[in-house]
Structure 1
């Protein structure tokens, strides 16, 4: 999760970009913060998906194979 300070800064920069505009340094900061936010969001969403199991009305596990494979590989170190 991104810190409150970083989220507040993202919002502040966004508001200023719409009103008075940003300096080059602030634009770079905004890009960096947005990139970090997206990475954090994707990681959190992926972790949430790994906790999902799909079950049909008969109680059979029908979780898609791609999700099952992703769950197996989630703890393996990346090369």
Structure 2
């Protein structure tokens, strides 16, 4: 939950800086902050997306699991699978 809150705070600050840039410009320090926050936001987003994909279990319409071997290996490494 704290990670979500952190992401929201980062996004809020990015938006504040965006609006300031549109209405008059940013100082060099603010532009550096904007860039750093944007990079952090993207890094966190990708990590969360990867986590979601790795934890995904896919079942076909016949009830057979068709999860990729790469995802199964990641799940085993995390202790989510016992097979």
Shorter chain as denominator, the TM-score bin is 0.7 to 0.9
**When the two structures are superposed, what TM-score results if normalisation uses the length of structure 1?**
0.75
- For residues 57 and 4 of structure 1, do their structure 2 counterparts lie closer, same or farther at Cα, with a shift above 3 Å needed? closer
SS class of match (1:45): helix
Structure 1 unpaired stretches of 5+:
none
Give runs of aligned pairs for residues 37-76 of structure 1, distance below 5 A: 37-73=41-77
Q: In 2, Cα distance between the equivalents of 1:31 and 1:74? A: 33
Unaligned runs of 5+ residues in structure 2 are none
CA distance in 1, matches of 2:56, 2:9: 31
SS at match of 2:66: coil
Q: Between Structure 1 and Structure 2, which shows a larger proportion of helix residues?
A: 2
Matched, 1:23 2:27: yes
Instruction: Give me the CA root mean square deviation.
Output: 2.0
Q: Between Structure 1 and Structure 2, how many residues are aligned?
A: 75
Equivalent in the alignment of 2:15? 11
Q: What is the TM-score with the length of structure 2 in the denominator?
A: 0.72
